[in-house]
Amino acid sequence: MNYIKKSEYHILFAILNVFISPVIIYAYIDPNTGGYVFQSIFPIISTIAVIFLFFKNQVIALFNKFIGLFRKKKKNSI
C-alpha cells in the first residue's frame, strides 16, 4: 500500500496551488537585483560545500568510532 505522509500532502497542495492559482501576479526582478542575490548566496553555498568536503573523512571516522562503542565485540575462542 502506498503510504504518503501528511506533510507530503501539504507540499503537494502548495505546489499545485502555485500552478493552478487564477490570480495574475505582475512581478519583475531587476537584473541587477538577481546578480546581487547570486553574489550573496553563491559564496555561502560554496563555503558549506568546501567545509563538508574538507571534513568529510574526519566526520565519518568520528561517526564510525561512536558506533563502534555500541557494537558487541567478538570473543576469540581458540
Secondary structure (3-state) at 40: helix
The answer on pLDDT for 76 being more than 80 is: no
The answer to whether residue 12 is domain-embedded is no
Mean pLDDT of the chain: 81
Q: How confident is the model at residue 2 (pLDDT cuts 50, 70, 90)?
A: low
Which phi and psi (to 5°) does residue 22 adopt? -80, -5
Our count of domains for the chain comes to: 1
In this predicted structure, what is the pLDDT of residue 16?
85
Summarize pLDDT for 24-42 with one digit per residue, the tens: 777 777 778 888 888 999 9
The answer to whether residue 46 is domain-embedded is yes
The answer on pLDDT for 64 being more than 70 is: yes
In this predicted structure, what is the pLDDT of residue 43?
94
The answer to whether residue 60 is domain-embedded is yes
The answer to whether residue 13 is domain-embedded is no
The answer to whether residue 48 is domain-embedded is yes
In this predicted structure, what is the pLDDT of residue 74?
67
Report how far Cα 32 is from the mean position of its chain's Cα atoms: 28
The answer to whether residue 58 is domain-embedded is yes
Query: 47: domain range?
Result: 42-69
